[in-house]
């Protein structure tokens, strides 16, 4: 049995943004230039987003590793302490 908020008929645990109701005057009418997102388009967008994410992760990891090597080359005593730990 779900607990309901009086008068709304929705679950108590549903976020308030999901319970709001739109009036006819606030609903935007879709224009012909807007496209409906089907599953094939969604998976295509998801694939490209994952590729960009992977590429940026690889680039940032190389940049961070390079910056750390440069930093450790300027701090020899810190580099010696780290090599002792490893």
**What pTM was computed for the model?**
0.50
Segment 3-10 mean pLDDT = 50
pLDDT single digits (tens) 38-78: 899 999 999 999 999 999 999 999 999 999 999 988 988 98
Does position 4 have pLDDT exceeding 60, yes or no?
Answer: no
- Kindly report the three-state secondary structure assignment for every residue of 5-61: CCCCCCECCCCHHHHCCCCCCCCCCCCCCCCCCCHHHHHHHHHHHHHHHHHHHHHHH
How would residue 12 be classed by pLDDT, with cut points 50, 70 and 90? Answer: low
d(CA 9, CA 66): 58
């Amino acid at each position: 049995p779900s607990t309901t908020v009086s008068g709304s008929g929705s679950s108590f645990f549903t976020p308030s943004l999901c319970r709001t109701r739109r009036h006819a005057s606030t609903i935007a009418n879709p224009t012909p230039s807007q496209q409906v997102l089907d599953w094939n388009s969604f998976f295509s967008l998801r694939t490209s987003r994952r590729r960009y994410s992977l590429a940026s992760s690889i680039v940032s990891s190389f940049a961070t590793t390079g910056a750390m090597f440069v930093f450790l080359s300027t701090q020899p005593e810190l580099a010696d302490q780290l090599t002792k730990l490893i």
